[in-house]
Amino acid sequence: MKRTLRIVAVLVALGGLGIWLAAGANAGWTKNRVAKRTVDEVTGIEAVNFENKFVPGVDFLGGIAVGAGALVAVSFLIQRKQQSAV
């Protein structure tokens, strides 16, 4: 059981890191909306439009690390089964 929890913790950490990297690896805070600059073709005026997009930041990465750390901590709290002497 201890080993299983530790393996799950590593998988959670690697999976979270993979999601963070695949979604943009934002070094700031997590964002729900991203600013997108557009230029009007006729007037040439630049405008900022926001589009809904999830970009995980370092707080997302920290949450994954805390979750994986909690699984490892729980694995240390589990005691070994003691074999009975016959």
- Is position 65 within any domain? yes
Which residues span the domain enclosing 16?
Answer: 2-77
In the chain, the number of structural domains is 1
Q: Taking the complete model, does pTM exceed 0.75, yes or no?
A: no
Task: Give the model confidence (pLDDT) of 22-76 as tens digits.
Answer: 988 888 898 889 899 999 888 889 999 999 988 899 999 999 999 999 999 998 8
CA distance 2 to 16: 21
- Is position 20 within any domain? yes
Type and span of the H or E element at 20 = helix 2-22
pLDDT at position 78 is 85
pLDDT at position 2 is 87
Structure tokens at 63: 């949450």
Burial label, 58 (beta-carbon count in 10 A; 0-12, 13-18, 19+)? middle
- Is position 31 within any domain? yes
pLDDT at position 37 is 92
pLDDT higher than 70, residue 86:
no
| Residue that wins the pLDDT comparison between 86 and 2 | 2
pLDDT at position 63 is 94
End-to-end CA, the chain: 25
The secondary structure of residue 46, as a DSSP letter, is E
- Is position 11 within any domain? yes
- Is position 24 within any domain? yes
**What phi and psi, each to the nearest 5 degrees, are found at residue 24?**
130, -10
- Is position 10 within any domain? yes
Which residues, at least 6 apart from 13, have a Cβ–Cβ distance to it below 8 Å? Answer: 64, 65, 68
